[in-house]
Structures are given as structure tokens and as C-alpha cells.
């Protein structure tokens, strides 16, 4: 049976396929790009969970198939949790990873190492065409570097150094990142829920 991955972010799709397949989910995973006529939903929620549910419901309703969605972002302690749900458009243009990262580094240029704590957060939502919904969350805590390092991953990966590691997320292998990441934790927690509701 098909399970829709309700995201158009290529970095997320790659990670979700690996995480969900690695957790033994038997479903045929289909990206939202397979449904180009379904308009992007407005992310009007004020939390990661609300926005993940909005995205999952929109695809489930439009396709008549179960859908999972991810809403995620980087929360910086000294900025009161910003960029948070605005992570994808922090510098103004949605999905411009490099501009977002450069702006954030500029905003933190005066902040010393002791005050650069941050975490990635991910809400993983499942929605069924009948309106049934579930959502779970995961986190990865770390420290923000002063300059980007590494070519792996996407988004803010080159500047977040996970607690307990000397590398940035962009210097981890894909499997290493998925093992500890906010997305890995959230979607591995969602797998038993998918099994329970979809069989």
C-alpha cells in the first residue's frame, strides 16, 4: 500500500525514505511531487505539530491515501527559539538554505561559544483520509559554529554541532545523522503508529 510523504523538500525526502525503510515500514513511499496538482498548504500553525498536521491532512484529503508530513526547524536559545517554525524562510525567500544560514550566523556574530546552544526540532504527523491524525516530535541538541563546515545534509546542518560530537551535522554520514537526528527520532516513533493504523 502507498504512503504519501507530504513534503517537497528533497533533503527531507531522502532522509525519510532511509529512516522509514530502515525501520522496516513495508509501504510504497511516494513523494508529494507525484501529485503536482495538489497545491501547497499554507503553514498557518504556530507550532511544528500544527504545521505538520496541516501538511499531512492536505495530502491525505487530496489523494485519498494515508500521508505523513514533517515540519521542522532550528531553535536557537539566545534568540528565544527563533528561527523555529520560520526556519525555511528566515532570510525572506522560502527554501534558500544558504541565505538563511548566512543571516543566522550574522545575527549571532557577537555571541560567544558558551551561549550558542540550539536544537533541531521535528514534528512527524500521520493523517488518514478519514481525518484520523497522530503527531510525535523529536529533537537534536547541539551548539552553533561560527562558520559552516561540511557538505552533507541540508539547511542549517553545516553550523550545528551535535552535543557529544566534534563534527557538524553536515560532516556526518547520512546514516550517522539519521541515527541521532530530530527527524530520525520523530519518524522512528511514528512507525509503530503507522503499523497500528495501517497494518
Interface residues with ligand ITT (CB under 6 A) are 7-9, 12, 55, 70-74, 87-88, 95, 97, 100, 120, 153-157, 169, 181, 183
**Residue 71: active-site member:** yes
Burial of 29 (0-12, 13-18, 19+ CB in 10 A): middle
Catalytic member of 33, 37, 70, 71: 71
Q: Nearest CA to 133 among 33, 47, 25, 58?
A: 58
Other beta carbons less than 10 A from residue 143's beta carbon: 18
- Give me the half-sphere count of Cα atoms (radius 13 Å) on the Cβ side of residue 63: 27
Instruction: Please give the angle made by the CA atoms of 20, 95 and 52, to the nearest 5 degrees.
Output: 45
Residue 141 and residue 163 in contact, taking contact as beta carbons nearer than 8 Å: yes
Q: Least CB distance from residue 189 to ligand ITT, whole Å? A: 16
Q: How far is the CB of 199 from ligand ITT (least distance, A)?
A: 26
Closer CB to ligand ITT, 5 or 128, in the complex: 5
* 10 annotated as a binding-site residue: yes
Min dist. Cβ of residue 41 to ligand ITT (A)? 9
Distance in Å, CB of 197 to ligand ITT, minimum: 21
Closer residue to ligand ITT, CB minimum distance, 120 or 187: 120
| Pick 143 or 181: Cβ nearer ligand ITT | 181
CB nearer to ligand ITT: give 124 or 196. Answer: 124
140, three cell numbers: 537534536
Known binding-site residue numbers for substrate: 7-12, 72, 154-157, 177, 182-183
Q: Which residue numbers are catalytic?
A: 71
Residues flagged as binding site for Mg(2+): 71
Amino acid at each position: 500500500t502507498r504512503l504519501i510523504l507530504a513534503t517537497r523538500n528533497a533533503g527531507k525526502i531522502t532522509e525519510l525514505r532511509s529512516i522509514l525503510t530502515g525501520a522496516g515500514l513495508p509501504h510504497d513511499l511516494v513523494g508529494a511531487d507525484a501529485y503536482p496538482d495538489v497545491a501547497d498548504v499554507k503553514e498557518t500553525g504556530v507550532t511544528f505539530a500544527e504545521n505538520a498536521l496541516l501538511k499531512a491532512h492536505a495530502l491525505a484529503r487530496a489523494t485519498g491515501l494515508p500521508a505523513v508530513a514533517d515540519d521542522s526547524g532550528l531553535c536557537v536559545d539566545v534568540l528565544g527559539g527563533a528561527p523555529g517554525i520560520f526556519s525555511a524562510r528566515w532570510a525572506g525567500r522560502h527554501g534558500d538554505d544558504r541565505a538563511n544560514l548566512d543571516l543566522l550566523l550574522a545575527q549571532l556574530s557577537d555571541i560567544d561559544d558558551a551561549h550558542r546552544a540550539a536544537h533541531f526540532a521535528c514534528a512527524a504527523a500521520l493523517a488518514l483520509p478519514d481525518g484520523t491524525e497522530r503527531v510525535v516530535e523529536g529533537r537534536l541538541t547541539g551548539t552553533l559554529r561560527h562558520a559552516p563546515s561540511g557538505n552533507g545534509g541540508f539547511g542549517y546542518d553545516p553550523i550545528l554541532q551535535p552535543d557529544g560530537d566534534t563534527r557538524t551535522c553536515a560532516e556526518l554520514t547520512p546514516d550517522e545523522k539519521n541515527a541521532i537526528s530530530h527527524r530520525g527520532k520523530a519518524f522512528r516513533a511514528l512507525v509503530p503508529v503507522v503499523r497500528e493504523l495501517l497494518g
